[in-house]
Amino acid sequence: MKIAGLILLILGGLGLLYGGVTYTSRDTVLDIGPIHATAERDALLVTSRRTA
């Protein structure tokens, strides 16, 4: 478990140095009885190189 955490930490640091991190969020658009609809939205969290 410690190795997985270390790998995620390194990948996160590289992502910030690269200039940003892309993530996907799921939002419920419609929820009526048995009918469910969700929307996936991609977003980019941009960081400047001065903050990293």
Decide: 38 and 27 in contact? Cβ < 8 Å.
yes
Q: Is residue 20 part of a domain?
A: yes
CB 23 within 8 A of CB 45: yes
Cβ pair 45, 20 in contact under 8 A:
yes
Determine, yes or no, domain membership for 8: yes
Question: Which pLDDT score, from 0 to 100, does residue 52 have?
Answer: 47
Alpha carbon distance 31, 27 (integer Å): 11
Distances (CA, A) of 33 to 27, 28, 30, 36: 17, 13, 10, 8
Instruction: Let me know if residue 52 belongs to a domain.
Output: no
| Residue 51 belongs to a domain | no
pLDDT at 50: 58
Structural domain for 6, as ranges: 2-46
pLDDT tens-place string over residues 1-52: 889 999 988 887 777 777 777 789 999 999 998 999 999 998 877 766 655 4
In which residue are the tokens 């001065």 written?
Answer: 50
